[in-house]
Amino acid sequence: MATTIQLKIKDESGNIKVENHEIEEIVLDQYIGMMKVLNDALKTVNGDQGLAQLLDFFNSKADEESAQQRDIRFAYAVVGSFDALAVRLPEHAVQLVSVLSGISLDALKSQKLGVIFDIYDAIITENDIEKLMSRAKKSLALTKTRVKIKGLINKLAPAPKEETEEQTQA
């Protein structure tokens, strides 16, 4: 059963039009889009030195330095990671909601924040994302197992080679 969300969309002349949008279980195309957005987000996280410094800060022990040194290091880490935390990662989050909801990015960006949370809640309600990811991992593991078994069989008992013309003439 789909969840219906009301969107308020402004047209070019400034008139507000209310549209009902149904959030349903995701389809394969949305799953592929989700994985692309998540991959881009991971690239952002992994490629950002400021975020790396911030994560290092949280993973370090407090007794290695004075409180003042720790505060300064924390401030530098926050400032260095600001672009990723405040701009790039939220953009990835909005793209993810757009892909999973089927609502265009432009329409989504013009909604009030409360509506965005309603859309997010509907996505979570209609889709068990964790279950879908677990299912995808299970299928991938099965595929890897089958490929390994086939490779092992080919090593143990290789397929017969085709005879060449010289072998048949002899």
- What is the overall mean pLDDT for the chain? 84
**165 pLDDT tier (thresholds 50, 70, 90):** low
Are the CB atoms for 86 and 52 separated by under 8 Å? no
What residue ranges do the domains of the chain occupy? 3-126, 129-157
Give DSSP secondary structure letters for 96-163.
HHHHHHT--HHHHHTS-HHHHHHHHHHHHHH--HHHHHHHHHHHHHHHHHHHHHHHHHHHHSPPPPPP
pLDDT above 70 for 63: no
Query: 30-39, 104-113, 157-166: lowest mean pLDDT where?
Result: 157-166
Other CB atoms within 10 A of residue 73 CB? 16
pTM of the full structure:
0.67
Which residue has better confidence, 141 or 92?
92
pLDDT tens for 65-99 read: 777 887 887 888 888 888 888 888 899 999 999 99
